[in-house]
Structure 1
Amino acid sequence: MCGGGLAGFCAAVASARQGARTCLVQDRPVFGGNSSSEVRVTPHGAAAFHVYAKETGIISELLIEERARNHETVFENGWTNSVWDMTMYDMAQRTENLTFYLNTTILDVRMANARKIASVVGYVANAELELELLADVFIDCTGDGIVADRAGCEWRMGSEGRAEFDEPHAPLEASGDVMGNSIHFKTKDMGYPAPFTAPDWAAKLDNPDFFYKQGRNPNDVRGGYWWIEIGVPWHTIYENEDIRHELTRYVLGVWDWIKNKDPKTKELAANHAIDWIGQVPGKRESRRIMGHYLMTEHDPLNKTVFEDEIAYGGWFLDLHTPGGLLAPTSEHASAEGYNETSSYMVKSYCGPYGVPLRSTIAKDVDNLLMAGRNISVTHAALGTVRVMGTTAIVGQAVGTAAAVALRKGLALADVPSEAIRDVQQTLLRDGCFLLNTTNEDELDLARSAQVIASSQAACYGGEVRADLLAAGQLGPQDDALNQRKGQWIAISEGVLNRVSVCLTNRSGSPQTVKATILPVDHIWDYRTEEQPLLATTELQVMPGDYQWIDWEVQLSERDGLKAGIYIRLDLHANPHLVWHCADGIVPGQTCAYEMGQGKMRRDWNGPTRSFRVEPSQNAYPPEHVINGVTRPYRFTNLWRSDPRESLPQWLELSWEELKLIRQIEISFPGSLLWEYRGYAPFYRDPQCPKDYRIEAFVGGAWKQLLEIRGNYQRHCRHALEQPVHTDKLRVVIDATNGDQSAAIYEIRCYS
């Protein structure tokens, strides 16, 4: 495993956990690559744009652990500290079958023949030690594709022209243009004036248009500016050191502008001092290694369904302007002021979409895989797949695929056709999520069980905050209906008699608003056109605050309403009206707004809009824990106890005959709704069970098998010291990390 960024690290841990003897080689003293404390790029992924789309698996374990351990806020780029490095180092130390070499640079590749790598040669810095590492399978996670290049693989670097694949984001003519590198800085509020004098060699920046009219807004004096970026005319591989020096000059020049020259920021920055400046550039793009499938921009935009899907993405098509600080304007969305409804943002919003295994298998070398930003994609497609949340889960999938190939004695090229089900089912068991695959593991005894629970929550809707209602004030996410807004509602019964929404009309005159109800395929079905309507009406809203408006819809299965699906309640634009948010998140019930061209996008951070339904919907039944899906998707997929009943609460599996059980695996809720930086220091998700017990019915009585205290991880595996023969098993949740309800997404049992 060459390269210890998030892709390489997750690949190494995954292959080792699957029993393959694994060696991880990293050229820096810490793991994490761009996410490490040396570079400090905040890991982003699909959850930045899609509710409940947080990447899970190994990356989720790491990020949950880091937030639980770390005292410091993750504000943005530049704010990563050594707690993150040590979280990764700790996992590496605790992973069986994994050895690693830090500070070790890959110098050469030795071939067994024209299509097979025999070994890689590395040099350990400061140790005067040269290593030759032999393996059956190699994975290139170096970012620059060093191993693939030395092995003679075909690769691309630069931008494809529009004519080659007809990609909407491709330039008319092909070129060598790539996205640039960045270094970041962090400041500290000293509490007293902190002067700064830039050295003579720092960049001289005196034109406010460079910042405010070209998409480089110094909007926060704490740092975090991704737009301190330079690439062309320098080569992002061979001239990386020249780029580093130029970036250092510009960091100092940018801070000099903020601190000493800009009338908008001088007073804000008066007490701030430079606390850290990176000296390892974070790289966005260089070589892309050609695999058995080349992903183009059309795949994420059209959500291509791949038979060999092994991961997913959901970041927008984020293609930075070649040249960065040296270009006339910054990255396109930034240059538009991040207007979320501009034509550029509409055409760039994509996902969640699948990533195929074939794009990670080198076509020219038989025992080489890739993970990270060097996989087989076009320049345009790289704009979305390059972010670290996505590369991490691709890495876990590639490490898993390598282990499966070795275990089955398969050529890597044959895995997508002959063993893809094994790879996909292993990924699901290891806590990952796939868009088009559910748990079908024949060895999972829970799938054949009957499931009951001590109680289950019903969904009545989402009420508004009492304090805001009493004061007649708008909440922080209450905004006018300037665009069409939609609320996803889980329907369990196939009957909906009445739906209500809470609106404010401050226009001084009666208003009407068009309301529609339509079925949706899942919580990321953002279509507003070509959708069959279940019902439509005009709601009348008199002047006044916080009015519950009822709609007698009287829908049933004869009208096309089905049980076990989401519907979306849409209120169309009327800027005189405010649709209030609910008091907290109702699990699995989220909202979006229309951005244009028949497409919606997540509203704010995915709150629940106020609504009431009659009858209430049994959206959280216990049988969800064996339906094979571990997050809200086509339905809520969650068992949740009745919040009106106190803890402990339990969920029970039963079989018609005795089962031998040695291992129990549970997926709890938590840390799915937002991306990583949305969580506070020392964070433990309130929904996640903290204290729980697992019991088996043995000899006519319940026997405690194990007891867990202080949990905050969402994916927990428990190997029993002694296997148990039982026909009943239950999980008893004594306490959560704050939520009133006990909740579980999935239980698996193995013998």
Structure 2
Amino acid sequence: MIREESQKKRTVKSESAGYDLVVVGGGLSGVCCAITAARKGLKVVLVQDRPVLGGNSSSEVRLWILGATSHMGNNNRWAREGGVVDEILLENMQRNPEGNPVIFDTVLLDKIYQEPNIKLLLNTAVYDLEKSDADEISSVKCFCSQNSTEYILTANLFCDASGDGILGFLAGAAFRMGAENKDEFGEKFAPDQEYGELLGHSIYFYSKDTGKPVKYIAPSFALADITKIPRFKSFNAKEFGCKLWWLEYGGRMDTVHESENIKQELWKVVYGVWNYIKNSGEFPEAETMTLEWVGSIPGKRESRRFEGDYMLNQQDIVSQHLHEDAIGYGGWSIDLHPADGVFSNKPGCNQWHSKGIYQIPYRCLYSRNIKNLFLTGRIISASHVAFASSRVMATGAYLGQAVGMAAFIAKKNKLQPKALNEKGIMKSLQLELMKSGQHIPGMILTDAEDLVQSANITASTEMQLDEIPFDFMKHLDISAGQMIPLQAGKIPSFTFSLESSEETTLQVELRISGKSGNFSPDELLEIQQIPVNKGPQVLITGFGAKLNENAYVYLCFRKNPAVKLGFSNTRITGVLSVFNSVNKAVSNFGSQKPTEDIGVDEFEFWCPQRRPEGHNIALKIDPPLNPFLAEQIKNGIGRPVSEPNAWVSSISDQNPKIYLKWADQTSISRIELCFDTDYDHPMESVLMTHPERTMPFCIRNYTITDGNGNLLFVKKDNYQSLNIIELKETVLTDELTLQFEHPSAEIPAALFAIRCYS
């Protein structure tokens, strides 16, 4: 029993603790930051003011995670973010391909609970801080409403991943809110006052068919006249969740301090919409449906943006500027929304894509005037226009990983964030990020400690790409293209099968990206008009063009309804079909054609189809190609770029193997393997369902033996991109043999990289 006499005043329970890194904000960027730092040995506390992790991806908001892949609706091939966010998405695919947001909550919690170096504080809000100097934070004060406890957290390094930037705001960090004018950064897409300066909030709802009639009586505050929403005719009974992203409001208001008012207005809209669906008589299919869930907090897009030593801008995205301190990339469109949201007469969004992914510099990830404050997520140093692209969650998570690794490098070298810009230190940061699975466009992992670099590498077989075997015909209702990795020099001939219902002409084009490393086939090398007879036939191309460097070429077959083209069930790492199709969800209408000069490019979209579609076009290639040599596993690029960057075995090889041979006995204690988990698949975390739990290119089962045949490691049922193997005992050997199983009968074993360390 506890009994206390009356007192004049009491104080809440208070706990103080010291850490290497305090991360404020448990959204996806904060989660990835905390995990990255903790795995490198830092003592981390993760402070989240909500009961669950994930921010806008959590069950409280239920927005799918997206980044550079953009629903597979742009030309950014193999662009899914790597590292920790990739690990999380692959785990979610394994546990939750149905896209249940509650299950995704547990995936994130599980990842945090597995890290002994992380202290997690849920339902805990930062409200104050102390500073050791005008430009340095010494501690933050937080309060947990659920256990009535104050936490005083001290550290040398702090990271603001809070979305609204509460830590940076309290610390006095320089920030902006609203849109810059066109002149400040020379951004032609900067919005005017009519369009508005801020993106608003969204609240989603889920519906469910009960199988019996359900009556709905709207609350008194529900919007009575749904026609006040210009797009009211767009509502239907089938869409729910984040497909209703355009239920947006609040961009004319203070999206920090008036957030609750915005939420109340959005509740009026949501319940008014449901009343319209249920009771207007326009949707008889809604008779048996009920409202299962409505968001209790809004999904917030924009508030404060903090100033670093560099501000990302529109030209960085469109022109794909290079930065010596690049630590990651973005690839979502420049996606601005009208400030009036659902009440605007303008389209719900205004998306403009670049021709490829763009680098994001480290200088955007720390405060320019608070020397121990990192920034990540949507509050990084970016203009309003650039923020429209960098704000999405997978990009924010990628930047969170970069901050977590930067915190490790900073602690190791006893430096503040800004000092990591020194050339030697920055290279260390970039190396550590790439080793952890973080692709940085234009950079190659060169690690002097990697023992594989000095090994002789051979394989039991190396696939020759001489044929993508024919299996079936498909109507050429939309233009189709096959991406083929070629080496510099003469273009080989391509033989293909088709069937036509009439005599016609088939236009075949040879295209290439005008910029190395991009996947927008914007440069036309050659066109052939091929006469086609009625009935089945086999045709051959003979192009005279030559390549100046290794690159993907696009063999494009323009749509012809009279023609059926041959396709294959065989799928191969780094070989992909694309289609000049439409994806309205990301403003892809087959091509991008700005009607005015807003500083973006005009080009066509050639995008893959989601499985079980997306078959390769059946081809014979003469002379055969050899892009899959075993030596590729040490080239330092862990995904296809200008070539596949992978070893691929022959599908006929029953026991595909890689052999690593050293001149002398070598000590090995750690082995890292990088597998193909289809970086083209966006893996939306909620709502959308996916055809597989494990990516079909991923090697599931493998063994590792030493030069004496001793079994060192066995793996079953792998589904992750990066496998890190810490051997129980250091092995002294001059040879390793890695034996793999093919993922399936129609997909050969493939590997991007092997690294070994003593």
TM over 0.5: yes
The answer to whether the aligner puts 1:322 opposite 2:339 as a matched pair is: yes
Match of 1:336 in 2: none
| Comparing 602-611 and 683-692, the one that deviates more | 602-611
The code of the aligned residue for 2:674 comes to S
Q: Any idea what SS the aligned residue of 2:336 has?
A: coil
Match of 2:641 in 1: 633
Match of 2:160 in 1: 140
- What is the CA-CA distance between 1:381 and the residue it aligns to? 0.7
The answer to whether the aligner puts 1:499 opposite 2:494 as a matched pair is: yes
1:104-131 deviation line (CA, Å, top 9, x unaligned): 1000121111111111111111222111
- What is the CA-CA distance between 1:417 and the residue it aligns to? 2.5
The answer to whether the aligner puts 1:642 opposite 2:655 as a matched pair is: no
Match of 1:538 in 2: 529
Match of 2:597 in 1: none
1:646-685 deviation line (CA, Å, top 9, x unaligned): 3x32111111122110000101111412111376377012
The answer to whether the aligner puts 1:127 opposite 2:147 as a matched pair is: yes
Match of 1:725 in 2: 732
The answer to whether the aligner puts 1:298 opposite 2:323 as a matched pair is: no
CA RMSD, aligned part only? 2.6
CA, structure 1 residues 358+228, in 2 after alignment: closer, same or farther (shift >3 Å)?
same
Mapped to 1, the partners of 2:757 and 2:521 lie a distance apart of 40
- What is the CA-CA distance between 1:262 and the residue it aligns to? 6.3
Match of 1:234 in 2: 253
CA contact (8 A) 2:702 2:715 kept: yes
CA contact (8 A) 1:733 1:742 kept: yes
Q: 2:573 aligns with which of 587, 597, 621?
A: 587
Superposition pairs of residues 442-461 of structure 1, within 5 angstroms: 442-461=448-467
Gaps of 5+ in 1: 334-344
1:456-502 deviation line (CA, Å, top 9, x unaligned): 22223444542xx3xxx63xxx5334xxx643211258554411345
Mapped to 2, the partners of 1:118 and 1:745 lie a distance apart of 43
CA, structure 1 residues 682+643, in 2 after alignment: closer, same or farther (shift >3 Å)?
closer
CA contact (8 A) 2:471 2:566 kept: no
Match of 1:601 in 2: 605
The code of the aligned residue for 1:589 comes to V
CA, structure 1 residues 645+175, in 2 after alignment: closer, same or farther (shift >3 Å)?
closer
Mapped to 1, the partners of 2:753 and 2:237 lie a distance apart of 43
Report how many aligned residue pairs link the two structures: 705
The code of the aligned residue for 1:649 comes to P
Mapped to 2, the partners of 1:654 and 1:521 lie a distance apart of 37
Mapped to 1, the partners of 2:178 and 2:662 lie a distance apart of 58
Superposition pairs of residues 511-660 of structure 1, within 5 angstroms: 511-513=505-507, 515-518=509-512, 522=516, 524-529=518-523, 533=525, 535-544=526-535, 547-553=537-543, 559-560=546-547, 564-571=550-557, 582-583=568-569, 585-590=571-576, 591=578, 593=580, 595-596=591-592, 598-605=602-609, 607=614, 608-646=616-654, 648-660=655-667
Match of 1:55 in 2: 81
Q: Any idea what SS the aligned residue of 2:430 has?
A: helix
The answer to whether the aligner puts 1:436 opposite 2:458 as a matched pair is: no
Superposition pairs of residues 147-226 of structure 1, within 5 angstroms: 147-172=167-192, 177-207=197-227, 210-211=230-231, 216=234, 218=236, 220-224=238-242, 225-226=244-245
Mapped to 2, the partners of 1:31 and 1:517 lie a distance apart of 45
CA, structure 1 residues 572+354, in 2 after alignment: closer, same or farther (shift >3 Å)?
same
The code of the aligned residue for 1:88 comes to L
Q: Any idea what SS the aligned residue of 2:127 has?
A: strand
CA, structure 1 residues 326+679, in 2 after alignment: closer, same or farther (shift >3 Å)?
closer
- What is the CA-CA distance between 1:284 and the residue it aligns to? 0.3
CA, structure 1 residues 456+332, in 2 after alignment: closer, same or farther (shift >3 Å)?
same
Match of 1:707 in 2: 714
TM-score calculated relative to the size of structure 2: 0.87
- What is the CA-CA distance between 1:536 and the residue it aligns to? 4.5
| Comparing 583-592 and 103-112, the one that deviates more | 583-592
- What is the CA-CA distance between 1:205 and the residue it aligns to? 4.0
1:400-455 deviation line (CA, Å, top 9, x unaligned): 01110110122311212231111111111111111021110111111221211122
Mapped to 1, the partners of 2:68 and 2:148 lie a distance apart of 42
Mapped to 1, the partners of 2:606 and 2:512 lie a distance apart of 17
Mapped to 2, the partners of 1:573 and 1:204 lie a distance apart of 48
| Comparing 318-327 and 53-62, the one that deviates more | 318-327
Match of 1:373 in 2: 378
CA, structure 1 residues 737+31, in 2 after alignment: closer, same or farther (shift >3 Å)?
farther
Match of 1:397 in 2: 402
1:559-610 deviation line (CA, Å, top 9, x unaligned): 4465x43223344576766666543544312335462565232424373444
1:278-321 deviation line (CA, Å, top 9, x unaligned): 10111000000000000111111111111111111111111111
The code of the aligned residue for 1:624 comes to Q
Mapped to 2, the partners of 1:493 and 1:157 lie a distance apart of 49
CA, structure 1 residues 370+518, in 2 after alignment: closer, same or farther (shift >3 Å)?
closer
CA contact (8 A) 1:59 1:392 kept: yes
Superposition pairs of residues 379-418 of structure 1, within 5 angstroms: 379-418=384-423
The answer to whether the aligner puts 1:665 opposite 2:665 as a matched pair is: no
Match of 1:356 in 2: 361
Match of 1:339 in 2: none
The code of the aligned residue for 1:31 comes to L
CA contact (8 A) 1:499 1:553 kept: no
Q: 2:275 aligns with which of 248, 251, 256?
A: 256
Q: 2:306 aligns with which of 279, 283, 289?
A: 289
Mapped to 2, the partners of 1:38 and 1:211 lie a distance apart of 26
CA contact (8 A) 2:63 2:241 kept: no
Mapped to 2, the partners of 1:569 and 1:309 lie a distance apart of 33
Match of 2:693 in 1: 683
Match of 1:80 in 2: 101
Mapped to 2, the partners of 1:627 and 1:191 lie a distance apart of 57
1:180-216 deviation line (CA, Å, top 9, x unaligned): 1111111223233333332232112443983267xx5
The answer to whether the aligner puts 1:104 opposite 2:124 as a matched pair is: yes
Q: Any idea what SS the aligned residue of 1:210 has?
A: coil
Gaps of 5+ in 2: 1-22, 581-589, 594-601
TM-score calculated relative to the size of structure 1: 0.88
CA contact (8 A) 1:68 1:681 kept: no
| Comparing 324-333 and 239-248, the one that deviates more | 324-333
Mapped to 2, the partners of 1:281 and 1:390 lie a distance apart of 20
- What is the CA-CA distance between 1:330 and the residue it aligns to? 3.8
CA, structure 1 residues 516+206, in 2 after alignment: closer, same or farther (shift >3 Å)?
same
Q: Any idea what SS the aligned residue of 2:101 has?
A: coil
Mapped to 2, the partners of 1:372 and 1:409 lie a distance apart of 25
The code of the aligned residue for 2:690 comes to A
Mapped to 1, the partners of 2:745 and 2:497 lie a distance apart of 27
Q: Any idea what SS the aligned residue of 1:397 has?
A: helix
CA, structure 1 residues 543+223, in 2 after alignment: closer, same or farther (shift >3 Å)?
farther
**Which stretches of structure 1, 4 residues or more, deviate above 6 A after TM superposition?**
573-576
Mapped to 2, the partners of 1:565 and 1:681 lie a distance apart of 30
Mapped to 2, the partners of 1:141 and 1:388 lie a distance apart of 12
Mapped to 2, the partners of 1:733 and 1:353 lie a distance apart of 35
The code of the aligned residue for 1:260 comes to N
The code of the aligned residue for 2:101 comes to T
The answer to whether the aligner puts 1:41 opposite 2:41 as a matched pair is: no
Mapped to 2, the partners of 1:437 and 1:412 lie a distance apart of 22
The code of the aligned residue for 1:320 comes to H
CA contact (8 A) 2:521 2:606 kept: no
- What is the CA-CA distance between 1:553 and the residue it aligns to? 3.2
Mapped to 2, the partners of 1:201 and 1:604 lie a distance apart of 45
CA contact (8 A) 1:362 1:369 kept: yes
The answer to whether the aligner puts 1:12 opposite 2:20 as a matched pair is: no
Q: Any idea what SS the aligned residue of 2:701 has?
A: strand
Mapped to 1, the partners of 2:248 and 2:367 lie a distance apart of 30
The code of the aligned residue for 2:238 comes to D
